[in-house]
Amino acid sequence: MISLFDLFKIGIGPSSSHTVGPMRAAQRFMTSLTDFDSIMRLRVTLYGSLAWTAQGHATDKAVILGLCGELPQTVDPDAADGIVAQVESNRHIVFDGKVLPFDPVHDLVLDKQSVPPVHPNTLQFEALNAEGEALETARFCSVGGGFIVPEKATETAGYAQPSVPYPFTSGAELLHQARLHDLSIAALVMENECALRPRDEIIAYLDEIIAVMMACIARGMEQSGILPGRLKVRRRARALHEKLRERERANTRSAHGIMDWISLFAIAVNEENAAGGRVVTAPTNGAAGIIPSVLRYYRDYCPPLPPATAQQGMRDFLLTAGAIGGLFKLNASISGAEVGCQGEVGVASSMAAAGLAAALGGTPEQIEDAAEIGMEHHLGMTCDPVAGLVQIPCIERNAFGAVKAINAASLALNGDGAHMVSLDQVIRTMAETGRDMNHRYKETSLGGLAVNLPEC
């Protein structure tokens, strides 16, 4: 089991694998350094997908922030650009009071030719002496969802499997544990989490995640203007929100009205993500709008519940979604650079479908069915961000992923949990599809819409 503390991370946009992960890697490298007096220069090399989309995904900015000691969960999004500008101007970084030369123009290298041996999202950090010799070197893989792993380690080394009372590494094992112990998936995951930390701490973290998600929706619906980057994409969540409120004031109803609100919530979050705002990896930044929008749909549009009951329903939602996301992480990938957008929007939709089915009282079998449906109809989705920006098609794609998740949960809840394709089979299929997918469609901006939509 992967802990929900690892799967749901509070950070900043626009990308978990290209912003959150690299920032964490840079900060970890800096904290590992010992002989600061001998270091005359720092050098960072980005490989693969990180190199191809460095500016669009703000990887360059993230690395600089990490070298300065900032972390995704604590950095002030409003101050981040100022920190980066100061480094670019002064050509040095300040870490823990120590000044070290670092000129982003020369010392942040984008290697688009070398093929990293382990993972397409690879970073190398070097501390050099006066002769340009490397005193210390570290290489990390940013494997999706903000997870970072030393390149020399296996992928699972980044998150050691904890000892828990109800272990599971597959959907079949999860269902078996739930049946054997007569537990809901949410209750099972909670008991596993309680083996790692106090229950009160878990509840507080779940509530914090919910609060950050809801705050991100609210802020996204209030902002207007142009998103960063050369595409000059105009924010539209605020205008859409005003239009939907006018429709309500006029008492005008449409059959698809709730779908418009769900789309609005998802778009609001992903516009915030594109702007570098505070978001939650769910399980990634590129898919950060799906779970919050479905969660808000549950809170606002499902049968009215007392506030305490609704809050517990949202906790069960996240606990269940976390179990499903962990299975994808363990057995396939949640990295767009590794398996395409099926690993981001597809996994988020699957997680949201399972979470909603759980919050609405679904059985473990119905929940597993919902998760399977959510992914099955995202298989093969490419990751082809135009101009390397997490904007087109990413923002709208989250709206569709959210609607699909609700549809998947509804289909599953209207059945008895029996279905032909298992969650494990669809996870295996997703992994195989990702391996077969051409690298141009895996977050490199070298194929698909990224080359067929002229940049304006």
Surface-to-core class of residue 456, CB atoms within 10 Å of its CB (0-12 exposed, 13-18 middle, 19+ buried): exposed
Task: Single out the residue in 158, 183, 205 at which a domain terminates.
Answer: 158
Residue whose tokens read 């272990």: 167
Cβ atoms of 343 and 328 within 8 Å: the answer is: yes
Q: What is the pLDDT of residue 20?
A: 95
Residues 122 and 237 in one domain: no
Residues 209 and 236 in one domain: yes
- Tell me which residue of 6, 7, 14, 20 sits closest to 348, measured CA to CA: 7
Scored b (16 or more CB within 10 A) or e, 104-126 reads beebbebeeeeebebbbbbbbbb
pTM for the predicted model, two decimal places: 0.91
Residues 275 and 203 in one domain: yes
Task: Single out the residue in 158, 183, 201 at which a domain terminates.
Answer: 158
The CATH number that applies at residue 118 is 3.30.1330.90
Residues 139 and 196 in one domain: no
Please report which confidence band the pLDDT of residue 455 belongs to, taking 50, 70 and 90 as the band edges: low
Strand partners, 93: 100
In a domain, 215, yes or no: yes
In a domain, 8, yes or no: no
Expressed as residue numbers, the domain containing 316 is: 171-452
| Whole-number Å distance between alpha carbons of 188 and 88 | 49
Q: Is the pLDDT of residue 255 over 50?
A: yes
**Mean pLDDT calculated for residue range 26-52:** 95
Q: How many C-beta atoms surround the C-beta of residue 363 within 10 A?
A: 19
Residues 325 and 180 in one domain: yes
What does the mean pLDDT of the chain come to? 94
Surface-to-core class of residue 28, CB atoms within 10 Å of its CB (0-12 exposed, 13-18 middle, 19+ buried): middle
Strand partners, 234: 226
- Tell me which residue of 324, 329, 331, 381 sits closest to 350, measured CA to CA: 324
Residues 184 and 118 in one domain: no
Residues 179 and 154 in one domain: no
Number of domains in the chain: 2
In a domain, 165, yes or no: no
254 alpha-carbon distance from chain centroid: 33
> In what helix (H) or strand (E) does residue 16 lie, and over which residues does it extend?
none
Residues 138 and 209 in one domain: no
Residue 356, CA atoms < 13 Å, CB-side half-sphere:
37
Q: What is the pLDDT of residue 155?
A: 47
